[in-house]
Amino acid sequence: MSALDFSTKIGSKRFSNPIFTASGCASSGQELSQFFPLTELGAVVTKSIMTKARAGRATPRMAETPSGMLNSIGLQGPGIDTFLENDIPWLIENNAKIVVSIAGETVEEYGVLARRLRAVSGISAVEVNISCPNVENRGQVFSCHPDTSTAVIESVRRNIGGELPIIAKLSPDVTDIVAIAKAVIDAGVDGLALINTLLGMVIDTNSMKPKLAGKTGGLSGPAIRPVAVRAIYQVHQAFPNIPIIGMGGVATGRDAFELVLAGASAVSIGTASFGNPTAALQVKNELADLLTQKGFKDFRDAIGFAHRSV
């Protein structure tokens, strides 16, 4: 039997395999690098970076939930200057494929960040996080409306030029995710990241108060995987030629395979890495074995396969 071609493409860039980190769950990769070489991953998706350093939200800002967790980190980070000075050189030195995630409080900030990244070598793509649910100002969730989603992507596209693929990260907390996807595709994205966390809340029945200092947070983990599968399936059905990086509750190769069958061209591992730092490698190996068992010789033949059997 011939070897499996495990490569995938997002825009003009090719990745050796479809397993990425999820933004925010491995910082810029240094924590995971002590457990395995980052070259084993298709790409490292960095924690969303902003124009200035950000302390994030007050503690406590994490809470366990059935089959998942809530986080209310609030985009804590060092800011673009420190990130470009320290994190990008380290990732390049470790031969990682780099997808830089960016976030902003205004449309203009996204444009500034895109302009800063334009001349940086060694980056494979830019993820535009317009869907973070655990910021203090819910007005920052640009992906909840087609007009604001479009404005951000158009700003990024104007400022970044035509070389780097742009990936829009969308929220599941909308009535029609296909409409939002259409808006950002029309604005010029090369791919989509589906899905960000869902807005949730936990109340401590002993103290009778919210467990998180910020009250609400982003729900992740296995509990949200059916939502991710639904969103990916719907968007792939509408736009079969747009690459999707799928994420949401993936902990095994079978979980990843489900997202691929729905239409994902790559799969990001997030919450699973907190309990098992080698989760991404486990998922990668299990997915490769499963694809081979199912008779696939090319990973790309499995993308959206569930649509062909309907």
Active site residues: 132
Could you give the CA distance from residue 305 to residue 290 in angstroms, rounded to a whole number? 14
Could you give the CA distance from residue 97 to residue 78 in angstroms, rounded to a whole number? 21
| 27 touches 46 (CB < 8 A) | yes
Strands (E), 159-215: 166-169, 191-194, 198-201, 203-204, 209-210
**Nearest alpha carbon to residue 220 among 64, 89, 97, 106:** 64
DSSP designation for 82: H
Could you give the CA distance from residue 304 to residue 121 in angstroms, rounded to a whole number? 32
H helices within the chain, ranges in order? 30-33, 80-82, 88-93, 107-118, 146-160, 177-186, 225-238, 253-262, 272-275, 279-293, 305-308
All residues at 6 or more sequence positions from 176 whose CB lies less than 8 Å from its CB, including other chains:
none
Could you give the CA distance from residue 58 to residue 213 in angstroms, rounded to a whole number? 6
Amino acid in the structure at residue 153: I
